[in-house]
Chain A
């Protein structure tokens, strides 16, 4: 394999692995902050116990999220140096701002929270975790604004043979980026809700600490339900934006080959990328794709055949990832809603509790699939319409990348195993007395 392919695989591996841990960090920090704030305002010891128990799971998860994030900042320089030089004037500041306004605060306050239980007043201690939660979510904003530039470049001019910053306000108010932010954040919150509810369900099935876990379950389910609705509704709005800004991505998401008005959506379709068609197309609902993409049954939806082959994203991966995301996105609000309605007598529904335990991986899968739609669907561009991925790669030897890729896979696999082992161990242990 060449440097390009190896670097793509390495970046994909690094991002996906990072993105297993980050969503839980974003949401669980908020839930722990909520629990501890409730403890300070009500004095109810149960909330303190909750903050400690869920906080411990948060920390185990947080550690890997942080260290894998460092990897990503380095990789732009090591593996994508031509990209870094070409758009560094715009992309670099966003990463630097992320570090100085958000990451510093998050990393500093996490230490305060862990070691400050009896060194600080109750209020200050709760403030520390609130700042961690705030900073983590602020950090995500800057990263997604940076990613937003890759999806929908704004605020630049071409000068001196590279993209230079021209309008900072346009860069940071990029509507596409903000829409991605809302979508990603809601998905992260939904995932955290399912995590809390699922772990609680395991304990409820065993009748451990019933009150503790009933209350935890409810907090998780409320969070999960609210944001599973937001993520779905807003996902539709975001789909409209993709249709406008990245028509090739939309066409790949639907494996839609022929440009047409009143474009139908096929409930059954099998992309046949090699022959630029679908091998199966059945149960078409007339105009549905036009409606979904443009809220207009007569709208014309551009098909993949109208893009030169070298301008088309990988169809099958984008198509299937999108389907997985949507399917899971439909199931999850229903699961959360049921728990909310029955939150007083969860014990009577052991089948449901078991289901919620097994549902923990679902939002993870949905989020990874969503990320694949966003990133694979953007190909062959690293910055949409501006720079191709193949022109972005560093002039380094393929052996170097092959070796580091292998190291990443081995190390990340090991870390993943240790992390899951610890999460399961401490989740099972239950709250301390």
Chain B
């Protein structure tokens, strides 16, 4: 396979991994106000993602870094064209990271309340913004031949973009609820499970709507029709979505979470394979799209990066897997006695 194509696929996979991993802790953040009533319950929720969220977020940095390294042309156009949504995402991530660390450090109840609101909002915004941004990328963004956006924030808030945003929010909520149902006991477990059960039909509806709108608003299916074998990829999100319901019904919650992960990764890969070989299609003129061809790095850079990725990504996966295993126990009140706990 050609180097550019390999990097295109890795690029898609990195975003998919990021959505899967940060998806559940963003989901937990959004769910906290609905599920937790007492301070201790809130702390259990925050601490359930405590050992993981920081490492999860680095997948975003890496996905961004790889876009920069492997496709600098795309990175330049994508990040400057999406200036305002990216800035919003950035501020959300700043506040979210800080709210984990600072919430418990100020003892007054009113300040905790403020941090709780900040945490929920700054977990919701990335989910929404990433969904809107990626749906728009799937659809194509109005960039001209110089890579300049002909439009503004509101251009991105079209029906398809918004549907993508809602889809991401629902999928992350589900992902978080299933994570919590695995990681907690007692009332928290029951409430999380109930949310997952109630959320599923809504998620299904949004997903179906998204697929329909995809056919109407995007050219994603062109690649699939040209190469029907690709439809196997569509089975991932569809199958994942259906299996979630089955596993929730059987109370096999670890598997339900895995099915949710497959759904999220599947949606991302579905879109990415649909826009191939463009990374950022132009909705004005296909010739103005940012593609593997016109935006990738030199072969030498791609080669060096491949060596780095093949060496270090498995190592990263190994130690992150070890962390998930080490902290796989249920989070209970006992956990809150830690000096450094959130």
Contacts and interface: CB of A to CB of B under 8 A. Distances in A.
Contacts of A89: 72, 297-298, 301
Interface string A57-101: 001101110111011011011110110110111111101111111
A111 B102 contact: no
Interface in A405-433: 407, 411, 415, 418, 422, 425-426, 432
Q: What bracket does the count of chain A residues touching chain B fall in?
A: 35 or more
Q: Categorize the interface residue count of chain B.
A: 35 or more
A119 to B, nearest CB: 6
Contact of A115 (B51, B64, B308): B51
B102 A112 contact: no
Nearest to A14: B90
A347 to B, nearest CB: 29
Interface stretch (B75-83, B165-173, B271-279): B75-83
B54 interface: yes
B121 interface: no
Given A97-B308, A101-B312, A92 B327 contact: no
B52 interface: yes
A84 B79 contact: yes
Contacts of B50: 111, 114-115
B5 interface: no
A328 interface: no
Contact of A77 (B79, B146, B297, B326): B79
A159 interface: yes
A37 B20 CA distance: 36
Contacts of A12: none
B14 to A, nearest CB: 10
A160 B52 CA distance: 42
Given A89-B72, A411-B91, A100 B64 contact: no
A103 interface: yes
A311 interface: no
B117 to A, nearest CB: 15
A108 B300 CA distance: 30
A202 B118 CA distance: 34
B100 interface: yes
A79 B313 CA distance: 29
B61 A99 contact: yes
Contacts of B305: 93, 96-97
A85 B280 CA distance: 15
The list of the 5 closest CB pairs from A to B, nearest first, reads A88-B72, A77-B79, A92-B69, A96-B65, A92-B68
Given A71-B90, A114-B50, 4 more contacts: A395-B148, A400-B83, A400-B87, A411-B95
